[in-house]
Amino acid sequence: MIVFNRERFFFGGRCGVIHNQSFRSALITDSISAVVLTFSGEWDGKNYNPVAEALLCKLSRQQVRKIHDVFLDELDQCGADGLDLGGAIEQVFGRARHKNIVSRYQNNAGMLLAAGAYAFAKPRATIADSAGP
């Protein structure tokens, strides 16, 4: 579900937030790029991790607004369909790359989310932990 989608006052871009069954993310788009951020809890604009960035081809301000809304809708639909954030980003930015809307993109969601999952995993016992006094 798209929680909000607003203009960014000073930068001429847009910021949208998605909460769905698969992920929580924000999309920030300006005249040159689209950045996907992930966060836990509620969006506060402060505690987030950037996971992907796409460089946009030369677009007018009106086109950037339209592309932002399309990206946000597509990311939300991918999450509603059960894709994880990395898969959703790959589908949305990959399609945009194929249509020459995006010149290039980098998707680190899978790597960063796997590292985060590892950090919260229960640590394994080591030999030193099982050694007696």
Angle, CA of 64, 67 and 73, to the nearest 5°: 140
Contact 56, 34 (CB under 8 A): yes
Question: The domain containing residue 113 runs over which residues?
Answer: 2-117
pLDDT at 100: 95
- The answer to whether position 122 is within a domain reads no
Alpha-helical runs (H) found in the chain: 61-80, 85-98, 109-120, 127-130
Better-predicted residue by pLDDT, 8 or 108: 108
pLDDT at 14: 92
Confidence of residue 6 (pLDDT cuts 50, 70, 90): confident
Tens digits of residue pLDDT in 47-94: 888 999 999 999 888 899 999 999 999 999 999 999 999 999 999 999
What's the predicted TM-score (pTM) here? 0.81
Helix 85-98 / helix 61-80 crossing angle, nearest 10 deg: 140
pLDDT at 124: 37
10 pLDDT exceeds 80? Answer: no
- The answer to whether position 132 is within a domain reads no
Is the four-CA dihedral 53, 56, 60, 65 of positive or negative sign? negative
- The answer to whether position 74 is within a domain reads yes
Q: What is the mean pLDDT of residues 9-19?
A: 82
Tens digits of residue pLDDT in 94-109: 999 999 999 999 999 8
- The answer to whether position 127 is within a domain reads no
Angle, CA of 97, 14 and 10, to the nearest 5°: 125
- The answer to whether position 129 is within a domain reads no
Contact 63, 15 (CB under 8 A): no
Better-predicted residue by pLDDT, 64 or 111: 64
Nearest to 19 by CA among 31, 4, 32: 4
Number of folded domains in the chain?
1
Nearest to 48 by CA among 69, 28, 21, 78: 28
For residue 11, give both structure tokens.
């930068």
